Chain A
Amino acid sequence: MKEELRELYRYRELLYMIAYRDIKVRYKQSIMGFMWAILMPILIVMSGIVVRYAYALAAHTPLQTADIASVAVKSLPWAFLVSSIRFACLSLINNKELVTKIYFPKEIFPIAAVVASLFDLLIASCALVIFLFVVQIGWNPYLIWIPVLIVTMVLLAAGIGMIVSAASLFFRDVKFIVEVLLTFGIFFTPVFYEVGMFGEKGKWLLLNPVSPILDAFSAVVARHQSPNLPWLAYSAGFAVVSVLGGYIFFKHLEPAFAESI
């Protein structure tokens, strides 16, 4: 595996190039240009606000700015995860020509899909910062956790991305399964709601490895708290295992790609 990682490092420029191509093409093709990056998060945030408003009505409590901020701050990483996995899933199939014609480490495709989505996240984050400024959610020392949370998210996305891209190369219906999971995943993940709303039962929700990360985002940005460290460690461990497992799985199947695609 050491040898393979060294090779991946040698091809790092190709990784940037493919990611750059994906970003460039995505922004060139859409009329709205950079709006693309914030369209999906904005839709998620707006639906989140509707859901939170319904909660507030049912509980006869006013809708807090912190609640809206929490929904907004969790929507972005969720949108990043969804678009990473969605693009990674199709990345090998869509580059069939390159998979069958030219040799290079093929994990570059799913990883580049994650990198391109990370770029979208960056753009959307700029919009988010402005939004948070407007609703007067200030700076606090816990924001130092943000890079850790993003790295965990990226590892998780890359791990899952490698698995689904390789699997969808061999089985064409994998992409439909992935699409369904991504669509309904939002209901099993605390994007619109908070883990805290479930009280004791909240820990069952946190078993979903994405949940502790999103909860941590909400904690450090909206609630000005330290993240729930044991659960965050659980997610980070899961992310590392998924990226290693995904990489080994991918490399194991890679020799058969050109013949099976």
Chain B
Amino acid sequence: MSDIALRMEQVYKKFRKGEVYNSLRDLLPALTGSMFRQQELSERDQREFWALQDISFEVKRGEALGIIGRNGAGKSTVLKILSRIIKPTKGRMVVNGRLSALIEVAAGFHQDLTGRENIFLYGTILGMSKREIASKVDQIIAFSGIEEFIDTPVKRYSSGMYARLGFSVAAHVDPEVLIVDEVLSVGDYAFQQKCIERMKEVVRDGAAVLFVSHNLRTVAEFCDRCLLLERGRLLMTGSPNDVIQSYMKSARIKRHDESKEVEISRVRIRNRQGESVRFESGETAWVDVEVTARRPATKMAVVLLVKDESYYEVFNTSTERLGLGSFNLESGETFACTFELDLNFANGAFHPFVALYRYHTETLLDQLELAACIYVGSETDVRGAVNCFPRVIRHEVLRVTSGASV
């Protein structure tokens, strides 16, 4: 058997947008109409667009490949072509072995059936035999953690329970190729970890996993290799860290956009020695921001915010809230300011953002995510978002003397 689990060779996919005739009532007049008109062809050309262009990659057995990219970059289209739901316009693809797609966990559920019945229904949809499901049903129920409600119709389930049951079934298919599309966003943190553990197990057993997610941290943690898609093209292939770095750069709003009346023209983060991205926990950092106006603009404020690795906001401040009030600029003028902050963050990577708001109306004028994360390190092992500089100031072992226990 070949080492390659799946391969795409120069795959192109064209979609049609705009008006599609979806009833005979519309189609028949349109057909008779088009016999008398000649411009149909050029019109049709305009309505088509390429969702994917020249996509080639392969995944080996026992490898996890991540796909990242903005919304509409073509990630889901790649997965749908691989799972044979849609056909490529041009190009070839090969899948060796049983493929299981975790595209939307609950698509196969029926509201009126119980959890247990749905395990059988969804399992069969995913390609398992009845006997196979019967032998795994207890395992699946245990994994989902909803034993109590397993004989209740799923319409009474919460969305979290729904998703957990769906993933539990899909995770037990024993696929040779597993496709996962943004399904881990549901469920609580503990369940997400369980899912990732299970996916790692699948990879260890020699399956190939294709993983699409917006959670870059999970991609970096789980995948061996990563693809970056942009507007249907394959921009980059490489180690998750490199690709994520480059994605973060491309995700920045384009600089020198002439249409903007004002823009953030410069941001710099420095420590005592100079520009840096590495900080000790509690160290002071300075953030220099410059805002340049092309046309006169009034009542603006600079906002500085910091998000953690999963893009959860952990800190937010602004010039206006720090008592500066708002500022106005004439065309050609530049506003410069420096924030001084004590980085009381715990160990980890953080994403700083700078945004420019119009005061009162809350209009976002410009936004800039810094290309680099800032890395905060600390000698003490502190986890989470903040460093509260913990110390143990007293510790002893209390011995309970016999007979005195309550």
By a beta-carbon cutoff of 8 Å, the part of chain A in contact with chain B is 11, 13-14, 17-18, 21, 24-25, 28-29, 97-98, 100-104, 170-174, 177, 255, 258-260
Note all chain B residues with C-beta closer than 8 A to A177.
24
Tally chain B residues at the interface, Cβ within 8 Å. 32
Q: How far is the CA of A97 from the CA of B106 in the complex (A)?
A: 9
Are A255 and B87 also in contact (CB < 8 A) when A171-B27, A172-B22 are?
yes
Kindly report which residue of chain A lies nearest to residue B110, judged by CB atoms. A21
Chain A residues with CB under 8 Å of B24's CB are 171, 173-174, 177
Give the docked Cα–Cα distance between A30 and B15 (Å). 42
B86 touches A259 (CB 8 A): yes
A17 to chain B, nearest CB (A): 4
In Å, the complex CA distance between A103 and B80 comes to: 9
Q: Mind listing 17 A-B residue pairs with CB under 8 Å?
A: A17-B130, A21-B113, A25-B110, A25-B113, A28-B112, A97-B107, A101-B104, A102-B125, A103-B85, A171-B21, A171-B22, A171-B27, A173-B25, A174-B24, A255-B86, A259-B15, A260-B20
Residue from B85, B110, B117, B120 within 8 A of A101 (CB atoms): B85
B126 at interface (Cβ–Cβ under 8 A)?
A: yes
Contact with A along B4-30 (1 / 0, CB 8 A): 000000000001000011111101000
On chain A, the residues within 8 Å of B15 by CB distance are 259
Complex Cα distance, B125 from A119, in Å, reads 22
A-B contact count (CB 8 A): 73
Closest A-chain residue to B105, C-beta based?
A101
B326 in the interface (beta carbon within 8 A): no
Considering only CB atoms, which chain B residue lies closest to A172 in the complex? B23
B residues in contact (CB < 8 Å) with A: 15, 20-25, 27, 80, 83-87, 99, 101, 103-104, 107-108, 110, 112-113, 117, 120-121, 124-127, 129-130
List B contacts of A259 (CB < 8 A).
15, 86
Tell me which of B86, B87, B112, B125 contacts A104 (CB under 8 A).
B125
In angstroms, Cα B129 to Cα A14, docked, is 8
Is the pair B85, A24 in contact by a Cβ cutoff of 8 Å? no
A151 → chain B, closest Cβ, in Å?
26
- 19 additional A-B residue pairs with CB within 8 Å, beyond A103-B84, A173-B24: A14-B125, A18-B121, A21-B110, A21-B113, A24-B117, A25-B110, A98-B107, A100-B85, A101-B85, A101-B101, A101-B103, A102-B108, A103-B85, A171-B23, A171-B24, A172-B22, A173-B23, A255-B87, A258-B80
Residues of A within 8 A of B107 (CB): 97-98, 101-102
Q: In the complex, what's the smallest C-beta–C-beta distance from A176 to chain B, in angstroms?
A: 9
- Give B25's nearest chain A residue, CB to CB: A173
